[in-house]
Structure 1
Amino acid sequence: MADVEARSELDGGADPCAPAVPPPYALIVESMSEGVSLSTEDGIIVYTNAAEDRLFGYARGELIGRHVSVQNAYPEEENAARVAEVIEALRAHGRWEGEWHNRRKNGSSFHTASRITAVDIDGGRHWLCVQRDVTAERTAEARLRVAMEAGKLGSWWFDPERGVGGWSDYSARMLGLSSAGREVSYEEWRGIVYPADRAGAEAAFAAALAGESDGYDTEYRVVHATGAVRRLRAVGAVEHGADGRARYVVGTFRDITEERSAREALEDTATRLDLAVTAHGIGIFDWYVQTGKVLWTPQEESLFGLPPGSFGGSIDNWAERLLPEDAASMQARLELAMAERRERIDFAFRIRRPDGAVRWIEGSGHFLYAEDGTPLRMVGTNMDVTDRRQAEQHQRLLVNELNHRVKNTLAIVQGIAHQSFRGSGMPSEARDAFEGRLAALSAAHNLLTRESWEAASIGQVVADAAAPLAAGRISTAGPELRLSPKTAVALALAVHELCTNAAKYGALQVPEGRVDVDWSVDGDRLFFRWRERGGPPVEPPARRGFGTRMIERALAAEFGGTATIDFAPGGVICTLEAELSS
């Protein structure tokens, strides 16, 4: 009778024929925060504690007599399969443990961690279920999992005492393996580690378990299920017991294959760049304009004659090493460049090294600006060009000396010709033509000397060659184009011949006559034209003279194209067409 009274007090007037909770445990069960329920073997609920009723949103005793299926949130087919799985485990082992998807009275669903045990009460088999709401935990875990996967992190765990562990779905996908919540043996993990990395990975893990390192942090390669080799970074924390033995390990995986490849490629590029700048003696600087801080590479310090690491690190330290006049000029140029928001500046200045040597430095800098135009940084390179400048100066001296000697030689030739032709019976016209050609050759030579015999502007070649005979009567038009020394000389002689012919027989014979010279570039083709106008009617010559043959043959050959002279009635037209590269 006491049992029945105790039962009635706990279940709020439940069926008096239902099994009772023994009085010594009644208060304990009712005070539990976990939900407790008791059902018959065929699933009829015969007891619930207060926590169970609150968990499912029912009034006290409202679940008594109902089937446990009212608490399940699984679809019908899945529910039948899950229930069959639980019943099979209970009948085979007397116990089942796992998570369950539940439904409250109001229809909302939640998850519980449940433990069901088979018990015999009053001679009948019953199922005792104890469960705890883990919805908030699972939601937090799901959010953490999403965050970890967004960061490309997979999780793993390991139980040193049992020698087994496991990994998250993301970790399994990263490895190309199946997880399905299964446990993974140490040997299985060891088997996927790349053979050459296996010893190192195991040594790092053993050191972490033994407490010989601060946690577990290592990189190793793994063989993906597809056969591809991937590189992982594994980080873990080890929980040690009071006796110092490892109890549990939890950590993360991150696939760093692409990151490592990119880093190695960047390191290779940096190495090549370092080798290149070192081989060519190129120093690199980085000036933080707003703070005045300047960073130099060791090669930059070497350019200035400083030991590595001895540069002061400020723009003032740089400026004090320049010759005073160059420092003032450089400061003005830098300020102007930044005021005009230029992206690039090229410069040259002289420095005085600690040993007193004066060296020439050339370089370029690239400016970086804020959105409002404030200059932030200038990054650039420097080179010591002292030897090159000295060589160029020496070359200029040699070229000037050579030019002087060649001009003297041409003057001597001209003088000899003048003396030889005088009184020789040679027509003055022939003598004048010869001397004119020498003068044209000399003018071209002078132009190339001014350009250091590197290249000459096509417009200047025409102007200098035409100046003695047609100053102010020739118009030129065309893009800037520079000619090699040989082609410049050939064009100068050709223009001289055309001017001479125009002065004798063509447009320059009369005051109103004019000559238009123009050139254009179409792709890789050069088009050059000489056109006379305003002169007397032109008649084709009876024979081709020296000038005509020189233009049509020598000029065309020198330019690698074709040259033609058209003796049109309105004025001579000479055209040249050639490959621009020639």
Structure 2
Amino acid sequence: MRTLAVIKDITERRQSEDKLRAADQRLRAFMDNSAVCGWMKDEDGRYVFLSQNHQRHFGVTFDDWQGKTDFELWPLEIAEQFRTNDRAVLTSGRAVEVLEETRSADGKQAWWLCHKFPYEDENGNRFVGGLGVDLTAHKRIEEALRESERRLSLVMQGANVGLFDWVLDGDQVHFSREWKSQLGYDDSEIGNRFEEWQSRVHPNDLEPTLAKVRKFLAQPWPEYEVEFRMRHKNGTWRWILTRASLIQDSAGKPVRMIGIHLDITARKEIEESLRESEERLRLANEAANIGTYFSEFEFDRSRYSPEL
């Protein structure tokens, strides 16, 4: 009887296997303790992996989801959204980053930023992996800001108040839609440059107004206010009242000037009409040699014209 034995050194293979197991353990430890949710589906959309954080976040276990598709787990519109994005990954063979709407564990609307990528195992089976970050809180803040801006815009429109935001390190100025409409322009007709304002200020008002701006930037005071004329799109001049304040950096250096424009043309016209009426009355009194006086009984004092 003879025995034939073959001895093969598999040390290297065992070492490779040990390294793979260690790498797999590190990956699972990372996924299980990360704030990121991870999952993987096969080519038909069936779940084959869920990270521990994914299970905790949605209040499920892998056994609940294993082998199921999104159409068995989510409302139809959400499942269709997921499947469309998964197919795009499988078709293109490239990773994609998408914002997906879903539902939280308590059924509330939620938004996730998802990085989806293709994967193929050694047997040629194709999968779609995913990593997701919950952006629901950020989206709600964005929506609250948009709603706040919408309400502010309605107030500004109703009050005919124009806003501006000037970044002082350069010539960039954001002019609101209302700011532009005060001068007869659509939003797209005026850019976001300082020159847009400067070129429309009345020549007689420009230098005094700029001098006051420079003084305010050098030595700010609580209530900045200035009046000047600006050219309307139709060629007329509109009187503008500006009020503004400064935003300073940590060193106290002004970095932005934010303020409002109020169209006070009607007020100026009334003031001018009153001055003209008073002047006409004065001239008439002088011509007729008629004296006038005004008494303020509350303060026991009177004023008399020169004719008296």
Per-residue Cα deviation, 1:407-437 (whole angstroms, up to 9, x for no partner): xxxx99xxxxxxxxxxxxxxxxxxxxxxxxx
Q: How many residues align?
A: 296
| Structure 2 residue 119 is matched with structure 1 residue 239 | yes
Match of 1:293 in 2: 172
Deviation for aligned residue 1:319: 2.0
> For residues 458-477 of structure 1, what are the structure 2 equivalents within 5 Å?
464-465=299-300
**2:232 paired with 1:353:** yes
Q: Hey, what does 2:157 align to over in structure 1?
A: 278
The change in CA–CA distance for 1:184 and 1:391 in structure 2 (over 3 A counts) is farther
Match of 2:59 in 1: 176
Alignment CA distance shift 1:145-1:391 (3 Å)? farther
**Could you tell me which residue of structure 2 aligns to residue 55 of structure 1?**
none
User: What are the within-5 Å matches in structure 2 for residues 19-38 of structure 1?
Assistant: 23-24=5-6, 26-29=7-10, 31-34=11-14
CA contact 1:193–1:223 (8 Å) conserved in 2: no
- Which of 120, 134, 145 is equivalent to 1:255? 134
Q: Would you say the 8 A contact 1:194–1:220 is kept in 2?
A: no
Per mean C-alpha deviation after superposition, the further-off stretch among 132-141 and 293-302 is 132-141
Aligned to 2:296: 444
Q: 1:222 aligns with which of 103, 113, 130?
A: 103
Write the distance in 2 (CA, Å) between the matches of 1:169 and 1:332. 64
SS in 2 for 1:210: helix
- SS of 2:296's partner is helix
Q: What one-letter code is carried by the residue in structure 1 that aligns with 2:78?
A: D
Give the drift of 1:212.
9.1
* Structure-2 residue corresponding to 1:202: 83
Deviation at 1:197, TM superposition (A): 3.1
Gap change, CA 1:221 and 1:278, over 3 Å in 2 = same
**Residues 367 and 379 in structure 1, CA contact (< 8 A), matched pair in contact too:** yes
In the aligned structure 1, how far is the partner of 2:278 from the partner of 2:28?
83
Corresponding position of 2:287: none
Change in Cα spacing, 1:230 to 1:355, as seen in structure 2 (3 Å) is closer
**Structure 1: runs of 5 or more not aligned:** 4-21, 36-50, 52-112, 114-130, 404-410, 413-438, 446-460, 469-582
Corresponding residue of 1:154: 37
Q: CA deviation at 1:289?
A: 1.4
Question: Cα 1:277–1:246, aligned 2, differ >3 Å: closer, same or farther?
Answer: farther
1:395-474 alignment runs, 5 A limit: 442-444=294-296, 464-465=299-300
Q: The residue matched to 2:225 in structure 1 has which SS?
A: strand
The worse-fitting range, judged by mean Cα deviation, of 190-199 and 290-299 is 190-199
Deviations 1:528-576 (A, max 9, x none): xxxxxxxxxxxxxxxxxxxxxxxxxxxxxxxxxxxxxxxxxxxxxxxxx
CA shift for structure 1 position 219: 1.3
CA contact 1:194–1:222 (8 Å) conserved in 2:
no
Q: CA deviation at 1:360?
A: 0.4
Displacement after TM superposition at 1:34 (Å): 0.7
- Residue 49 of structure 2 aligns to a residue in which SS? strand
Q: Aligned pair in 2 of structure 1 residues 134, 229: CA closer, same or farther (>3 Å)?
A: same
- State the AA in 1 paired with 2:295: A
Match of 2:68 among 186, 194, 198: 186
CA-to-aligned-CA distance 1:256-293 (integer Å, 9 cap, x gap)? 33222222221122222223323433222221212122
Instruction: Give the secondary structure class of the aligned counterpart of 1:220.
Output: strand
Aligned to 1:477: none
**In the aligned structure 1, how far is the partner of 2:57 from the partner of 2:136?**
11
Q: Taking structure 1 as reference, are residues 388 and 191 closer, same or farther at Cα in structure 2, changes over 3 Å only?
A: farther
Residues 111, 139 of structure 2: 8 Å contact kept:
no
Distance 1:351 1:161 in 2: 66
- SS of 2:132's equivalent in the other structure is strand
**Any idea what SS the aligned residue of 2:29 has?**
helix
Q: Do the aligned partners of 1:201 and 1:218 also contact (CA within 8 Å) in 2?
A: no
**Residues 89 and 128, structure 2, Cα contact 8 Å, conserved in 1:** no
Letter of the 2:116 counterpart: G
**Secondary structure, aligned partner of 1:362:** strand
Deviation at 1:172, TM superposition (A): 1.2
* Residue correspondence of structure 1 range 302-317 to structure 2 within 5 A: 302-311=181-190, 313-317=192-196
Distance 1:312 1:264 in 2: 26
Do the aligned residues in 2 keep the contact of 1:363 with 1:382 (CA within 8 Å)?
yes
Aligned in 2, Cα 1:157/1:357: closer, same or farther, shift over 3 Å? same
TM-score by length of 2: 0.77
CA distance in 2, matches of 1:162, 1:325: 72
Distance in 2 between residues matched to 1:216 and 1:306, nearest whole Å: 39
Q: Percent identity?
A: 18
Give deviations 1:476-511, integer Å, cap 9, x for gaps: xxxxxxxxxxxxxxxxxxxxxxxxxxxxxxxxxxxx
- Partner amino acid for 2:111? L
What is the rounded CA distance, in whole Å, between the counterparts of 1:217 and 1:365 in structure 2? Answer: 41
Single out whichever of 315-324 and 206-215 deviates more from structure 2. 206-215
Hey, what's the Cα distance between the residues in 1 that align with 2:120 and 2:22? 30
Cα shift at 1:337: 1.4
Structure with the bigger RCO (C-alpha within 8 Å, sep 6+) is 2
User: Which amino acid in the other structure matches residue 49 of structure 2?
Assistant: G
Q: Provide TM-score, normalisation by structure 1.
A: 0.44
Partners of 2:174 and 2:45 lie apart in 1 by 56
Q: Is the 8 A contact 1:232 1:253 kept in 2?
A: no
CA RMSD of aligned residues (A): 4.0
- Cα 1:207–1:255 shift into 2, 3 Å: same
Change (3 A) 1:202 1:308: same
Per the alignment, residue 306 of structure 2 pairs with none
Indicate conservation of the 8 Å contact 1:342/1:367, yes or no.
no
Given that 1:284 and 1:299 are in contact with CA atoms closer than 8 Å, whether structure 2 keeps it comes out as yes
Residue 386 in structure 1 maps to residue 265 in structure 2: yes
Secondary structure of 2:295's partner?
helix
**Offset from partner CA, 1:188-211 (integer Å, 9 cap, x none):** x43442445333333333343333
For residue 199 of structure 1, what is the amino acid of its counterpart? E
The worse-fitting range, judged by mean Cα deviation, of 169-178 and 305-314 is: 305-314
Displacement of 1:134 = 3.4
